[in-house]
Amino acid sequence: VALHAGDDASRASLLAATDRLGRTSLHTAARADDGAIVSLLLGAGADSEARDHSGDTPRDIVGGESAARRLDAMRQAVRDGDFDRALRLVARGCFPISASTKGETLLTRAAAAGRGDVVDAAIALGAGRGGG
């Protein structure tokens, strides 16, 4: 809720906050393999390229090899506009993630492409739970 309340400066400060290891909330959500929270944070403008004190991005510390592959597959599907593949990934529990530093997700790209059917299907499958 705090991510969507307040001004842009407050939101940016909250998203950029780090722990003693230099990890943001996006690092923590990625490590926990929590796609809904990852999507929420990215939708609010979290930096997917932020590096912790070890130089790792959230993608680098994602919880498990299969989760990393799912994240990469979703990023590629969203970038390519391959909405059918993205929907299959959502149906398997991979929530939309940012496909670019602009924070584009499956829902934002599908909406921009005029694909209301994809937006509706993704939301029905749970993609909207995390803001993606």
Instruction: Please give the model's pTM, rounded to 2 decimal places.
Output: 0.54
How many Cα atoms within 13 Å fall on the side-chain side of residue 37?
A: 14
Give per-residue pLDDT as tens, 12-70: 888 889 999 999 998 888 888 776 677 678 767 788 889 999 999 887 887 666 666 77
Give per-residue pLDDT as tens, 71-89: 777 778 777 888 788 777 7
The pLDDT of residue 22 is 95
Q: Does the pLDDT at position 91 exceed 80?
A: no
Q: Which residues of 40-76 are buried (b: 16+ CB within 10 A; e: fewer)?
A: bbbbbbbbbebebeeebbbbebbeeeebbebbebbbe
